[in-house]
Amino acid sequence: MMGPPIFPDVSPPTWDEFCADYGPSFFDYSRPEAEASFIIEVGGEAVGQVNYEIRDALVPYAELDIWLRSQADTGHGYGPDALSALMMHLTNTLGIQRFVIRPSARNPRAIRAYQKAGFEIVPMSVQQQAEVYGPGDYADDVLLIKDGPAEAHSCTVASS
């Protein structure tokens, strides 16, 4: 979520900023070992996207991000389902066992959705998060982590 009224401190990116953040490999699946983005479809209609970036630390992990196209698409389980399917895919294909997501504290619905997908809040200041995971998107990032193998899920993941 970006821009006023809830996020006046985070403006929507310009096209150039978006392209700098999300290179072609996010969308053409040319570097699945590093990053990719997937469309979330419900009944053949695109309702959002979910993406990952593999980060290297002592233990490799995937930092996830998800967007739904509108408030009308929230509250139906699409987010937790998409995250669960993506985590299963990353566990099965890349052996990833740790997943990180950092929403704004001003987005409690998203935090609850991530908890439904198995994430747990890890109390850590934004400064500590930046030291460990790099800078986040918000001044009030909440760190959620899911460790261990992803559970089996009925969703399928197809590249965008």
pLDDT tens-digit series, residues 97-152? 999 999 999 999 999 999 999 999 999 999 999 988 888 889 999 999 999 765 54
**Confidence category of residue 19, pLDDT binned at 50, 70, 90:** confident
3-class secondary structure, 28? helix
Beta bridge partners of 99: 62, 146
Q: To which H or E segment does residue 25 belong? A: helix 25-28
Distance CA 76, CA 94 (A): 29
pLDDT at 160: 47
Measured at the alpha carbon of residue 64, what is the angle toward residues 29 and 35, in degrees to the nearest 5? 25
Q: Give 135's contacts (C-beta < 8 A, 6+ positions apart).
A: none
Q: For the chain, which domains are there?
A: 15-147 (3.40.630.30)
Top-confidence residue, 84 or 11: 84
DSSP-assigned letter for residue 66: E
This prediction's pTM: 0.84
Beta bridge partners of 67: 49
Of 20, 1, 41, 18, the C-alpha closest to 159 is 41
Of 113, 123, 119, the C-alpha closest to 78 is 113
